[in-house]
């Protein structure tokens, strides 16, 4: 069910009635007005999510990590391969540096 359909259902009227009201009142169609007015609601929702995260809400921290940091529950094998490759490089470099230090050079 799309938003226009839900609103029309709530007010027990047709979708055309909602569209016509938007055109009369705002001189724009429903979708334009929905975008305009829903932006404030999205800002409020993000603010509430951040407040919950700051209080230690684990579920919202996980959600925000997925949304904003690209984190995921099941990383791709290629992600693991990249991490392992980088770790191998770092450990090899560390071992070589330790060997040089031990040999005085």
pLDDT at 77: 66
Q: Return the pLDDT at 24.
A: 97
- Kindly report whether the global pTM for this prediction surpasses the value 0.85: no
pLDDT of 40: 84
Locate the domains of the chain by residue range. Answer: 75-105
Q: Which among 54, 83, 80, 49 is positioned nearest to 67, based on CA atoms?
A: 49
Could you tell me which residues come within 8 angstroms of residue 1 by beta carbon, excluding any fewer than 6 positions away? 9
- One digit per residue, the tens of pLDDT, for the chain of length 105 reads 578 999 999 999 999 999 999 999 999 999 999 999 888 888 888 888 889 888 988 888 888 888 878 888 876 666 677 777 888 888 888 888 888 888 876
């Amino acid at each position: 069910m799309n938003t226009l359909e839900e609103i029309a259902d709530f007010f027990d009227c047709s979708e055309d009635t909602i569209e016509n009201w938007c055109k009369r009142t705002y001189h724009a169609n429903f979708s334009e007005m929905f975008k305009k007015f829903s932006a404030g609601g999205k800002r409020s929702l993000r603010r509430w999510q951040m407040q919950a995260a700051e209080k230690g809400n684990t579920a919202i921290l996980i959600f925000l990590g997925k949304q904003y940091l690209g984190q995921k529950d099941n990383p791709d094998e290629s992600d693991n391969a990249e991490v392992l490759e980088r770790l191998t490089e770092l450990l090899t470099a560390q071992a070589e540096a330790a060997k040089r230090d031990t040999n005085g050079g």
